[in-house]
Amino acid sequence: MGSLNRRDMLQLSAACGLGAAIGEASVSGPAIAAGSADESVKPKQTPITTRMFWTWDHSTEWALNRLGAHTHGSCNEYGRSTQSFLDDYTALLRWCGRHDVDAVVVWGLLRDSHGGLESAKRLCDVAAEENVRLLCGVGLNAYGGVYYEGDSPYNLERHLQASPELYAVDAEGNSTNFSIDAVGNRVRLSNTSTPGPRGFYHACPSRPENQEFVAESLEWLFKNLQLGGVQIETGDTGVCQCSLCRDRRKHPADSFSWEDMALMYPLAADAVRSISPDAWILCETYSHPEPYIGPKAAPGFGDGKAAWADESLEKFPREVFVQWVADRYLRQGDPDRVWTDKGRVSGKGLRHVMRAHVGTDWGWGAFRGEVALEWIAKMVQQSVSSGFEGIALFGEVSPFHTGAELNYLALSDFGSSSNPGSDPELFVERVAAPLLGGLANASDFVRFAGLMDSRFPEKRKEIPAAITSICTRLPSLPPDAARRWCWLANKLASFAYV
């Protein structure tokens, strides 16, 4: 795709002025090269240039009325069929192709239980047809490695089982591996336990054998699949505290380590680029860019940026995407967690992506399929003014569910040339109204959806009246709009049902 992604090309061809409409949102991201033979047509620069979905295979459910999807969590077993896996992601990739979403991250892309390499190849073909980048989620010291689950030499657990001295250990030299039981407690696993049900296994990043395994696995991945790129992580479920790791690190690390990222991301990027120079490489930070102000010695997942993070960011490979987490600074209303000017990100050869867990069951008061326009707008506005060029949301829920559909369309619209200021009202007027029976109906839809917000439980008293109001308007609506309203009525009813 070169330096112009598909959205840029569409906007270049649309060729309408933007600058004056941007308002307070500063323009960020890399300059877009002039792409038109007509010099009078100025290339357009939009506040957001890159849009992505983030998914786990086991929770992605775009092919409807099939068995086995999870509605929550990571590292679950896969419960659907190979055909469902293919159908789920084919539908998702085709939607992205039609709605200007540039890339889809798949965690669990390679599993024996949904067809391994052959299924992944078929999805790479669909992605190519749609001009969407398929990105494989790859844990470097955790999360299964390149081949997430199965009998492959590039599966991290197989690698560690064969050489148990390469496992990560805690400060006492014990295993850091664990599984999660039925009520959510961590259960420690011995180093030699057999995987399945899925456990969390960790490798020591200081061991050269593990570093070589990462490089070799990534080279194999890109030799065998026409991927658009990778999202890489070093792991946020515990770090190795062996003497090699302790001697190497200058700073504290608890659930994840900035210094481990600085060690592993460059060698992973080198391996990927040795085979696929144009691959997108998305490096997770587990952090918000606002400087962290205690009380923990090392900030945890979703907390602000560690004081020593910039040192590590300097060592990240150039031209990668650096991915950050918005949630704790987005919707909790915590006075100690405010995104200020100190939370700006620096270009310096890095491209920045903000993601949030809105519309999922991943905590922070959200639920799967909620209508989260307000939060997505705030996230995009703050990201643009803080130097970001990319936005990522979870994409596991089918847009048949209207809450997810509206969120996804907002991802497509906010920060674009049509809505550079990410104005939710403009979105409702232009994008939601035609889907929901006109502007007045669309405004009511968003207001009624807000009655489910867990932060304001008293609002749920208004749900019965809202359902009555929905029922009275259904006969006058076109069928597709009525279907969307039925989704809302039923969703609201589920909160009032005893």
Distance CA 356, CA 368 (A): 13
Distance CA 250, CA 259 (A): 8
Q: Return the sign of the alpha-carbon dihedral for residues 331, 333, 334, 337.
A: positive
Distance CA 270, CA 312 (A): 17
CB of 217 to Zn ion, least distance (A): 19
Distance CA 406, CA 423 (A): 14
Nearer to Zn ion among residue 90 and residue 191 (C-beta): 191
| Longest CA–CA separation in the chain, Å | 71
| Contacts to Zn ion by CB under 5 A | 204, 206, 240, 242, 244-245
Nearer to Zn ion among residue 240 and residue 436 (C-beta): 240
DSSP 426-439: HHIIIIIHHHHTSH
CB of 206 to Zn ion, least distance (A): 4
SS3 179: strand
Distance CA 421, CA 381 (A): 7
Nearer to Zn ion among residue 205 and residue 343 (C-beta): 205
Distance CA 230, CA 232 (A): 6
Written as one letter, the residue type at 361 is: D
Nearer to Zn ion among residue 244 and residue 486 (C-beta): 244
CB of 171 to Zn ion, least distance (A): 11
Nearer to Zn ion among residue 74 and residue 206 (C-beta): 206
Closest to 98 measured CA to CA, from 453, 349, 333, 412: 412
CB of 260 to Zn ion, least distance (A): 9
SS3 93: helix
Please give the span between the terminal C-alpha atoms of the chain, in angstroms, as a whole number: 52
Distance CA 189, CA 178 (A): 5
Distance CA 120, CA 118 (A): 5
Nearer to Zn ion among residue 170 and residue 361 (C-beta): 170
CB of 199 to Zn ion, least distance (A): 19
Nearer to Zn ion among residue 103 and residue 240 (C-beta): 240
Q: Token pair for residue 133? A: 């980048």
CB of 248 to Zn ion, least distance (A): 8
CB of 241 to Zn ion, least distance (A): 7
SS3 365: coil
User: With left for phi above 0 and alpha for psi between -120 and 50, is residue 426 left, alpha or beta?
Assistant: alpha
CB of 141 to Zn ion, least distance (A): 9
CA-derived radius of gyration, the chain: 23
Nearer to Zn ion among residue 239 and residue 432 (C-beta): 239
CB of 243 to Zn ion, least distance (A): 8
Nearer to Zn ion among residue 245 and residue 372 (C-beta): 245
